Amino acid sequence: MENKAQMGISMMIIVFITAITGLVLFVSVAQTTGPLGDLTTVQNQSETAGANGATFYIEEYKHITDVVILNATSNTTIGAGNYTVANNQLHPTTGALTVAVTVDDAEFASVGWKVSGTAQKLDYIDSSGARSLADMIIVFFALAIAVVVMGPVVKEVGNFN
């Protein structure tokens, strides 16, 4: 009798430690994986344009869409024909993926620009399948924790019959 009670208490301690460890790891994985599929809104990011034909790089992002560029001094919109945006470009000095913006009009060269749009951060998962799989990892991790915690309970219920 005493031996069976000791086994029950040790099983409870093992389940408790496993559950706490699993929950700590679960929270860490969920917080890390969640933002990998989120797009970011860029609002009036300040950049300085180079000379006509020169390229500047937006290093915080690798892809940007719905681009709107304003002249920083007058807050007037710079038309899309005055610049070219190239996504997923290698930065010439760091080798990281960036957004490259080339100045196509001497009128807007060497002035401050405010860039806005919807962007992908450097760690964004491009593939929709990979983003879904990353979310599934979190779901299966939670199910694994539930199975580990509920396993001894189900086993004990089966022993009563």
CA dist 63 and 101 (Å) reads: 11
pLDDT of the residue at 160: 59
Mean pLDDT of 133-161: 79
**Across-strand partners of 112?**
48
- What are the residue boundaries of the structural domains of the chain, listed by start? 2-36+127-159, 39-121
8 A C-beta contact, residue 103 and residue 82? yes
Residue type, 161: N
| 66-77: average pLDDT | 91
Q: Tell me how crowded residue 111 is: count the other CB atoms within 10 A of its CB.
A: 14
Average of per-residue pLDDT values in the chain: 85
Average pLDDT on 44-62 reads: 89
For range 70-92, the mean pLDDT: 91
Task: State the pTM of this model.
Answer: 0.69
* 115-142 burial: b if 16+ Cβ within 10 Å, else e: bbbebbeeebbeeeeebeebeeebeebe
